[in-house]
């Protein structure tokens, strides 16, 4: 009898001590299984009461009940306390500094496009726009492209239907503008353009800013003056430009415009392939043949036009070696600008 009472007392103390030391609900659950569960020690002790002589059973039974109740109560109270302290630990701490939401910014290409347009607006140009899906007439025919010109080939142009295509340049906006308004015309036309091109300096979709001036007495020196002023504002005040003879069906004479290398200033380096110059745009005096298409009188007016690659301008200004950086959406790259 005294052995069983001792075992009950020992079990009670052990259980209470374990409960006191437990600090998580899962530790307390282990203790519940061990002492109060269906295969637990208290049930085992209660069962062993049956082995005692009948007259000793009430006293031992009372001791077992008392121990069981005490352990159950202590366990319940400990569980409430542990859960409460866990909740406090997980509670939202309103005194912590807040997390700032990520704020984006204008993409480098749009920054460049906006900057280019603003410079020309300050020089007195207005902004006009034209459609990206264009007809063969505006993209080629009215710009004096011969029927068998290579750029009309499927290899260069992305056609979307019979005589319907994704414009290969912003020059069709020249015709659309002249059709709508009589001279004088001083406009720039920014927008997306498309070609079957894809390498480190050419993208299938890219951006151009077209410039068109038609007014009385416009000469090639006006073209050079406007583009020199642009280069000084966009790149740096002393940036030199040069005009190189070229050919476009809609300008006569035509010129490619280069800027002095932004890296070496014209001495020759890897970026400019030792030439000292970097190509920026195509330009020229508007071919009088275009005036026939829009009903202008070539005896009274003359004009110049240019088409600048915006992606190219951004690459030159920021020293980018691969045009794809502008289209991949890599935040590590974009955050630098």
| Closest to ligand FA5 by CB, 57 or 107 | 107
User: Encoding tokens for residue 111?
Assistant: 């920054």
Q: Which of 68, 157, 177, 251 binds ligand FA5 (CB under 6 A)?
A: 251
Nearest residue to 282 (alpha-carbon basis) of 260, 316, 251, 311:
251
Q: Which of 186, 230, 248, 296 binds ligand FA5 (CB under 6 A)?
A: 248
Instruction: Show contacts with ligand FA5 in window 177-196 (CB under 6 A).
Output: 195
**DSSP at 131:** -
DSSP, residue by residue, 239-294:
--EEEEEEEETTEEEEEEEEEE-TTTTTS--TTTTTSSEEEEEEEEEEPHHHHHHH
Residue 239 binding ligand FA5, by CB under 6 A: no
Nearest residue to 30 (alpha-carbon basis) of 82, 84, 69:
82
**Whole-number Cα distances in Å, 226 to 59, 133, 223:** 112, 30, 5
Q: Which of 279, 289, 298, 333 binds ligand FA5 (CB under 6 A)?
A: 279
Stretch of 11-19, 37-45, 103-111, 277-285 lying at the interface with ligand FA5 (CB under 6 A): 277-285
Residue 120 binding ligand FA5, by CB under 6 A: no
205-215 and 241-248 as β-strands: parallel, antiparallel, unpaired? unpaired
| Closest to ligand FA5 by CB, 57 or 202 | 202
Instruction: Show contacts with ligand FA5 in window 131-170 (CB under 6 A).
Output: 169
Q: Please, which residues bridge with residue 307 across strands?
A: 210, 282
CB of 282 to ligand FA5, least distance (A): 3
Residues in contact with ligand FA5 by CB under 6 A are 169, 171, 195, 197, 202-203, 206, 208, 210, 248, 251, 279, 281-284, 305-307, 309, 311-312
């Amino acid at each position: 009898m005294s052995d069983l009472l001792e075992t009950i007392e020992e079990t009670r103390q052990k259980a209470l001590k374990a409960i006191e030391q437990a600090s998580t609900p899962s530790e307390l659950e282990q203790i519940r299984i061990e002492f109060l569960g269906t295969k637990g020690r208290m049930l085992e002790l209660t069962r062993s009461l049956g082995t005692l002589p009948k007259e000793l059973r009430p006293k031992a039974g009372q001791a077992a009940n008392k121990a069981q109740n005490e352990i159950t109560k202590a366990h319940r109270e400990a569980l409430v306390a542990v859960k409460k302290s866990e909740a406090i630990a997980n509670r939202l701490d309103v005194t912590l500094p807040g997390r700032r939401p990520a704020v984006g910014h204008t993409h480098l290409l749009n920054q460049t496009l906006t900057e280019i347009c603003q410079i020309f607006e300050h020089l007195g140009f207005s902004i006009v726009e034209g459609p990206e899906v264009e007809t063969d007439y505006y993209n080629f025919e009215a710009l004096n492209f011969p029927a068998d010109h290579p750029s009309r080939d499927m290899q260069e142009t992305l056609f979307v239907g019979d005589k319907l295509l994704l414009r290969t340049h912003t020059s069709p906006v020249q015709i659309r503008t002249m059709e709508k308004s009589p001279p004088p015309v001083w406009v720039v036309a920014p927008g997306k353009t498309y070609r079957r091109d894809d390498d480190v300096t050419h993208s299938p979709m890219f951006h151009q800013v077209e410039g068109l001036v038609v007014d009385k007495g416009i000469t090639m020196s006006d073209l050079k003056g406007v583009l020199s002023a642009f280069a000084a504002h966009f790149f740096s005040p002393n940036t030199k430009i040069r005009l190189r003879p070229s050919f476009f069906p809609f300008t006569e004479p035509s010129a490619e415009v280069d800027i002095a290398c932004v890296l070496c200033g014209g001495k020759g380096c890897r970026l400019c392939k030792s030439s000292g110059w970097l190509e920026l745009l195509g330009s020229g005096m508007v071919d009088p043949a275009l005036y026939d298409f829009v009903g202008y009188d070539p005896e009274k007016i003359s004009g110049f036009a240019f088409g600048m690659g915006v992606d190219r301008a951004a690459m030159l200004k920021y020293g980018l070696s691969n045009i794809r950086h502008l289209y991949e959406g890599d935040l590590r790259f974009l955050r630098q600008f």
